[in-house]
Chain A
């Protein structure tokens, strides 16, 4: 049984580790178009911001492939899947046979669709290459603009600022972190960033990148212009689904999989930022492009590939970060739309403490925690397991939640 995994990141490594947990012998191949040994792309922002200390970006020790008996084809791109012949075609002309295949190709930054976006000095922020290119550009850049106010955008801005670039963040929405949290939370971080010397402009969209060859400034839809020799786009990612072409694999935004992470093509699985899964809180089909989901989906796929039946219990929208020493965790539905939601929140602006909980009927469906994030996982567990919280709502709202509180309920739900 030859297992082949396309992708050498969270989902791919999750699958490889699951396969090896069950089967130490079966041939296992990992293919990746990046030439680095498995590293964490989610740390390139930490590296840029100087937050990495003595560690490094390695996700696993370099000996990982050897120790786990994995053949790694790094720096090679898969260009086609021939599901009939059970073969993957690589860009160097070679072909790899598989019995079970996992597509864990992740996503790529979305184009902004703004004239001039191919000028020098404009970067996506997705992989190690981008990081190295940004390092090069920082040396000569005086002004930098980050387009996007999500977690990655804020980290990128911290990074430019750290390197002495005069940094601004420009966003289309009315407040920071609009995908992750609400205006109250966004405002806390806006004040933090501004007081640390990073300018923030809201409700404006870029219409043109100006400059000859190299970007020099950005024109916005309100007629304003901002100088920028370096621009980082924090726009979202789109799933890398190209390999599905010419196969029976269904694609709707991402690759459609069943609850065992199997695609419509037998023996071909998909996991991670490329896959559409069911959100276990909202029950909607979506791409939850976050690290823990990618790893667990990969792990689920890996078990099923190796012959151990394992059902994926669904993905969850979640994010954790910290800026200027103020931590943030956001889980589930945090900006409820429609009826039937009950929202409670608490804000202490001076201490930069904010929390919000969203309930639907007897269930907790969302939480934002700013400043104090202890035991957030207990809340995530309540959401994931659909535990009836009516008897403990008072404690939840008082911040007195811990495992002892939910243990009787959690055990009842199992």
Chain B
């Protein structure tokens, strides 16, 4: 595995819970790839990122592509795999049987039971989208970032707004 896989990171302080990422994610995972088209699709495309509101923070959360992916360990269908080169955790939808073992085990609650298709839906890093992950490109406040952990640290440290926000609180 490369030492620094690319992942989607979130700066929760910058998240206003506008949910643009959820919509962009659903559209990116629709067949028509347009908002209006996506709304008309049957079954409706499912978003795989969720803006979760905690008591003290907003957190746009999707699959963490864990180093120790418990969903892979728990998958009794052999449908989950981890790409050794990129670190990406993938679900093979042909093999997924919708048994929900992954939903039961993911500590982040980031695998979504898509009841409409009876299969597990989770972040695939928009691997087939030239522009990169749709949630990141749609985020209005720069709360989402796609890159290595090192790149993210640098990105985070250079957010002027973040300093202002901290001073504000």
**B2, chain A: closest CB distance, angstroms:** 15
Task: Select one of A55, A291, A408 contacting B94, CB under 8 A.
Answer: A55
* B 68-106 contacts with A by CB, 8 A: 70, 73-74, 76-79, 92, 94-106
A40 close to B (CB within 8 Å): yes
A40 touches B107 (CB 8 A): no
State the interface size on chain A (CB cutoff 8 A): 48
Provide the bound-state CA to CA distance between A14 and B74, in Å: 10
CA distance A377 to B103 in the complex (A): 6
Query: Could you list some 23 contacts between A and B, CB below 8 A?
Result: A55-B77, A59-B78, A60-B78, A291-B74, A296-B70, A318-B104, A318-B105, A319-B104, A320-B99, A320-B104, A322-B100, A327-B113, A327-B115, A329-B100, A331-B104, A374-B112, A375-B109, A378-B107, A380-B104, A401-B109, A402-B109, A404-B54, A408-B55
Beyond A42-B99, A321-B99, A402-B54, list 6 extra A-B contacts (CB 8 Å): A60-B78, A327-B115, A329-B100, A331-B104, A374-B109, A406-B54
Number of contacts between A and B (CB, 8 Å)? 132
Interface residues on B, range: 35 or more
A53 CB to closest chain B CB (Å) equals 7
Chain B residues with CB under 8 Å of A296's CB are 70, 73
Q: Which residues of B contact A (CB under 8 A)?
A: 12, 50, 52-59, 61, 70, 73-74, 76-79, 92, 94-113, 115, 118
Of all chain B residues, the one with the shortest Cβ separation from A39 is: B78
A381: Cβ under 8 A from any B Cβ: yes
Digit string of A96-116 for contact with B (CB within 8 Å is 1, else 0)? Answer: 000000000000000000000
Interface of B is mostly: loop
- Closest Cβ of chain A to B143, distance in Å, is 13
Question: Which one of B57, B98, B108 has the greatest number of beta carbons of chain A within 10 Å?
Answer: B108
What distance in Å separates the Cβ of B67 from its nearest Cβ neighbour in chain A?
10
Instruction: State which residues 35-58 of A face B: CB under 8 Å.
Output: 40, 42-43, 46, 51-56, 58
A295 beta carbon closer than 8 Å to chain B: yes
Q: Are A43 and B77 in contact (CB under 8 A)?
A: yes
Chain A 109-125 interface residues, beta-carbon cutoff 8 Å to B: none
Q: Is A236 an interface residue (CB 8 A)?
A: no
A377 touches B76 (CB 8 A): no
A43 touches B76 (CB 8 A): yes
Contact of B61 among A51, A327, A403 (CB under 8 A): A403
- Chain B residues lying within 8 Å of A55, measured Cβ to Cβ, are 77, 79, 92, 94-97
